[in-house]
Amino acid sequence: MKSYIPYLKYIFLGVFLVASTGVAAYDFLYTKPKKKCDATAKWWSDKDWKCYTPVNITNFTQRPIETATDKAAPAAATAEKK
């Protein structure tokens, strides 16, 4: 009766190498670029696997950005007059 242990050893070694290569490729091609994009405060697209720069809406509308203090100032002024 022939032993299949040496063949199984090589099969398991091959499966291990393919799985390890797959994990390393996923890390290199997906995880590292995503972390790099997040570190630069940009937006990562899972669909396209690209890093996009966020665009402020005021670039298109030319309106000033209103903050909470800008809105509260007129209300405080009218409250003081009463």
Q: Which residues contact 7 (CB under 8 A, 6 or more apart)?
A: none
What are the pLDDT tens digits along the chain (82 aa)? 788 888 999 999 999 999 999 999 999 988 899 999 989 989 988 888 889 988 888 877 877 777 656 666 666 666 666 5
**Would the pTM count as exceeding 0.85?**
no
Encode 56-82 in three state secondary structure: CCHHHHCCCCCCHHHHHHHHHHHHHHC
CA distances from 56 to 18, 39, 45, 53, 67 (A): 44, 19, 18, 10, 15
